[in-house]
């Protein structure tokens, strides 16, 4: 289900917080469209006023054309830097290796084990299946630095093969932030090791996704109150696998248009759209005025001039209403305007991806197994 219909791709990108220049020219979306891969892709330390109150670290993220959010981490001694996607919909960390000759690897930074004095080989191989392809590789062990926090002896993957669509992404790899229960090879995730090694004072992390190219942030061990307004609403997890919660309904103008009778949803920074069962998504798109005839790239199209008059959509999570306006769920590009609601086939599990998360500051509390949501600013 990961990267599910919309993939979410890779994050962070020689010093820990050094900014890498943005790639000039076409966006990842435009490149994928020209290569005929977009349809498959779709289907499948900034200012921190709270820092003095907790032990932890923050990592800035770059918004890659509303497709994925990536930031910079480093691995090894001396550190080798990589851009990775902070993905709450998966649990493993992996980056390309010098032994990988796939196009996707050749297009990205590669980890060289021989250049790290703290490197060790792990026990076995790694294979992860995403919605639009897979990666295979070896398990490895080394120090990983994220947001100024160094995790000792982290088990991670170094890829030997990667699916072709990854070549079009800016990010080099993925850093999974879901639970160990869904980690390939039962690897302990990076954030779990932060907690286990006493590197953060609170067993939670929080995410702010900006609509701009810069300004997004993940904070490990704390909450940045400058990114939200009002009260935090806490929603209990129904499963400690993905960050999964109960959704009561989806309503428009007071009418239930999807998730009638309740359903399950996951909060996933690694998926760009809001994904649901095809029947429900088609009904939602019809209600908001998006065309039922999909574009050549698999998107439901919208007349750009209608955005101001399109209705709000409310997602009720465990009795609490979270409403997003049309300006949030309609994507605008040079090719036109598109609905941010994507078809997930017959799978009943919903994914509240970046379209939803950009509207709400999200706190992921692994100890209490709750998700906190507050209106983003």
Is 261's pLDDT higher than 80?
Answer: yes
Residues with a known catalytic role: 87, 268
28-223 and 226-376 share one fold: yes
pLDDT in tens, 305-327: 999 999 999 999 999 999 999 99
Name the helix (H) or strand (E) containing 18: none
**pLDDT tops 50 at residue 226:** yes
DSSP symbols for 27-87: -HHHHHHHTT-HHHHHH-----TTGGGSS-EEEEEEEETTTEEEEEEEETTTTEEEEEEEE
Instruction: Using pLDDT thresholds of 50, 70 and 90, give the confidence band for residue 13.
Output: very low
As given in the structure block, the two tokens for residue 13 are 């990108």
Count, residues in the chain:
377
- Domain coordinates of the chain in residue numbers? 28-223, 226-376
pLDDT of residue 36: 55
Residue 56 confidence class, pLDDT cut points 50, 70, 90: low
User: Which residues make Cβ contacts (< 8 Å) with residue 28, sequence separation at least 6?
Assistant: 64, 65, 67, 68, 168, 169, 170
pLDDT for position 297: 54
Q: 226-376: what CATH class?
A: mainly beta
Per residue in 18-48, pLDDT (tens digit) is 333 322 334 455 555 555 555 554 444 332 3
168 contacts 31 by C-beta, under 8 angstroms: yes
Q: Under 8 Å CB-to-CB from 333, ≥6 apart: which residues?
A: 29
Asked which of 35-49, 73-87, 88-102 is least confident by mean pLDDT, the reply is 35-49
Q: Are 192 and 367 in contact (CB under 8 A)?
A: no
- Give the closest residue to 337 by CA, choosing from 287, 297, 283, 278: 297
pLDDT digits (tens, 9 = 90+) for 335-375: 889 999 999 888 899 999 999 999 999 999 999 999 999 99
Per-residue pLDDT, averaged over 267-273, amounts to 94
What pLDDT score does 35 carry?
Answer: 55
Residue 164: predicted pLDDT: 84
Mean pLDDT score of the chain: 85
For residue 143, pLDDT beyond 80: yes
Q: For residue 90, what are its two tokens?
A: 């998966």
For residues 273-302, average pLDDT: 86
pTM of the full structure: 0.84
> According to the model, what pLDDT value does residue 110 have?
97
CB 371 within 8 A of CB 303: no
Q: Enter the CATH code of domain 28-223.
A: 2.40.70.10
Interval 231-240 mean pLDDT: 97
- As a whole number of angstroms, the distance between CA 73 and CA 83 comes to 7
For range 196-223, the mean pLDDT: 95
């Amino acid at each position: 289900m990961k990267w599910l219909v919309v993939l979410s791709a890779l994050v962070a990108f020689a010093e820990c917080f050094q900014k890498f220049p943005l790639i000039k020219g076409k966006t990842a979306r435009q490149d994928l469209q020209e290569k005929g891969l977009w349809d498959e892709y779709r289907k499948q330390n900034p200012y921190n006023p709270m820092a003095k109150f907790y032990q932890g670290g923050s990592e800035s993220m770059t918004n890659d054309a509303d497709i994925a959010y990536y930031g910079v981490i480093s691995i090894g001694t001396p550190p080798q830097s990589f851009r990775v996607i902070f993905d709450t919909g998966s649990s493993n960390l992996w980056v390309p290796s010098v032994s990988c000759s796939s196009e996707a690897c050749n297009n990205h930074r590669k980890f060289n084990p021989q250049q790290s004095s703290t490197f060790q080989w792990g026990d076995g191989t790694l294979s992860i299946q995403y919605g639009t392809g897979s990666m295979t590789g070896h398990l490895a062990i080394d120090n990983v630095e994220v947001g100024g926090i160094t995790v000792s002896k982290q088990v991670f993957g170094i890829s030997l093969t990667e699916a072709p669509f990854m070549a079009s992404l800016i990010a080099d790899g993925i850093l999974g932030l879901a639970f160990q229960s869904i980690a390939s090879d039962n690897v302990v995730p990076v954030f779990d090791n932060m907690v286990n090694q006493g590197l953060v004072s609170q067993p939670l992390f929080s995410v702010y996704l900006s609509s701009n190219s810069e300004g997004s942030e993940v904070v490990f061990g704390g909450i940045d109150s400058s990114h939200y307004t009002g009260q935090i609403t806490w929603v209990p997890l129904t499963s400690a696998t993905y960050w999964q919660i109960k959704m009561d309904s989806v309503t428009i103008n007071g009418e239930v248009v999807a998730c009638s009778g309740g359903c399950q949803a996951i909060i996933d920074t690694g998926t760009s759209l809001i994904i649901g069962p095809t029947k429900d998504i088609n009904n939602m798109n019809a209600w908001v005025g998006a065309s039922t005839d999909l574009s050549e790239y698999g998107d439901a199209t919208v007349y750009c001039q209608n955005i101001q008059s399109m209705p709000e959509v409310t997602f009720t999570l465990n009795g609490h209403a979270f409403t997003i306006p049309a300006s949030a769920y309609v994507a605008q590009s040079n090719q036109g305007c598109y609905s941010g609601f994507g078809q997930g086939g017959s799978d009943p599990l919903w994914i509240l991806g970046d379209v939803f998360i950009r509207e709400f500051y999200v706190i992921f509390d692994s100890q209490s197994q709750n998700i906190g949501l507050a209106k983003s600013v």
